[in-house]
Structure 1
Amino acid sequence: MTPTCTHLNGIRVLETTKHYCEDCVKLGDSWVHLRLCMSCGHVGCCDSSPNRHASAHFHVTGHPLVRSIEPGESWIWCYRDEVIAGEVTP
C-alpha cells in the first residue's frame, strides 16, 4: 500500500513573492533551494542547504506541508507523512 497524506485540507498558502530564505537572510547565510510552508507562508531553505530551515520550521510549528518554489517545480511534501503529497496546479 502506498502511503498517502491526510493534511491537504490544511493548505492555507499557495504562493509567495519571497524568493529568499527568511532565516538565512537574518544569519547572513546562503541556501540551495526554497520551500514554502503551506500553512503560514514561511519561506525556508531545503534539506540540501546547510541550515535546513524549512525542516526546522516544521519541527517548531508542526506545519506539515511545504511546496517547492523553485522554477518548474510544483510538488508538495508532507513532513508528517513523509510523502510527496501532490502538486500545485495553476
Structure 2
Amino acid sequence: MSAMNKDIEQRKAVLLTIKSEIIQRLNIQRDELQIDDDTALFGNGLKLDSVDATEIVVMLDKVFGLKVGEGDDPSYMRSINSLATFIIQKQNA
C-alpha cells in the first residue's frame, strides 16, 4: 500500500471514529453517513456547546490517547475534518 493510500485510510478511520464517538457521547440523533466531514461542530452545524466541547476533549484522551495542551490552537474544534487533522498530526508527531 502506498504512503498516500495509507494516509487516506488512516484519515477515513479517524473521521468515522470521531463521528461515531460524537454520536454516542453527545446523543446526536443522526448516523455517521448523515454527518459531512466539513460539518461545523458548533453554530449551525451540530450545534454543540461548551459542555460538548469538554466531552470532545475527554474523547480525544480516552479514544485517541491525546492530551490537549494549553498551546493548542482551539480552531481544531471547528469541524469534523479539522478535528481529524488535529488527531492525525498529534499521532504522527
> What TM-score, normalized by structure 1, do the two folds share?
0.30
What's the TM-score, normalizing by structure 2? 0.29
More strand by share: 1
Which of the pair has the greater relative contact order for Cα pairs under 8 Å at 6+ separation? 2
